[in-house]
Amino acid sequence: MASVLTNISDIIIPVLIFYIIAYGMASKTNVYEDFVKGAREGLKTVVGIMPTLVALMTAVGILRASGFLTFLGNLVRPLTERMGFPAELFPLTFIKMFSSSAATSLVLDIFKNYGTDSLTGLITSIMMSCTETIFYTMSVYFLAAKVTKTRYTLTGALLSTLAGIAASVVLAGMMSGG
């Protein structure tokens, strides 16, 4: 079964590319010109969102280096530990909403300090896969699409992140036998 999936994954991208080219030729469009036009527009989008990305990464770096996140983690420790959520993961939870790469560096620190198979390590692994970089995603995609009214996006994203964190605690507890 694994070899079948490996073979499928090896050919899926080339098949998709050839399908797009064949479809474009069948509908009598200049596929190359459309590709170049899309790449040009994509580059403009990247240049347009670059200041937002730099600001987000700078803010995350400042918060992490200042020790403010550790302070907040210690502040909420009595509440989080009653819910089975290690306070040491609060900085990760906070940073993940802004930057996945900064969160990944925190994950490596957590793994080094607690181990990958510990309850804290398991919660970390699951949480990283079922939460989103809310503010990064909203700023980048809404800026690129020129969306000004976000309605309930932030509320929904925060609720889904909370659900992902709760699921992480429950699943890691089940996996660790606790």
Question: Can you give the pLDDT of all 178 residues of the chain as single tens digits?
Answer: 667 777 887 888 899 989 988 998 899 888 889 889 988 998 888 888 788 778 877 887 788 789 898 898 889 899 988 888 998 899 899 889 888 878 888 899 899 999 999 999 999 999 999 888 888 888 878 877 888 888 898 999 999 999 999 999 999 988 877 5
**Nearest to 60, CA basis, from 104, 19, 24:** 104
The answer to whether position 37 is within a domain reads no
Phi-psi region of 42 (alpha: psi -120 to 50; beta: other; left: phi over 0): alpha
Residue 169 burial (CB count, 10 A): 20
The answer to whether position 143 is within a domain reads yes
User: Is there a contact between 103 and 136 (Cβ–Cβ < 8 Å)?
Assistant: no
The answer to whether position 10 is within a domain reads no
Please give the pLDDT value at position 178: 59
What is the Cα–Cα distance from 78 to 33, expressed in whole angstroms? Answer: 59
The answer to whether position 161 is within a domain reads yes
The answer to whether position 102 is within a domain reads yes
The answer to whether position 147 is within a domain reads yes
Can you list the alpha helix ranges (DSSP code H) found in the chain? 2-26, 31-66, 68-82, 90-96, 100-114, 119-129, 134-144, 153-175
Q: How many domains does the chain divide into?
A: 1
User: Is there a contact between 124 and 110 (Cβ–Cβ < 8 Å)?
Assistant: yes
pTM over the 0.85 mark: no
The answer to whether position 31 is within a domain reads no
**Nearest to 96, CA basis, from 62, 130, 71, 66:** 130
The range of the structural domain enclosing residue 135 comes to 48-175
**Span between the terminal Cα atoms of the chain, in Å:** 33
Please give the pLDDT value at position 114: 93
The answer to whether position 1 is within a domain reads no
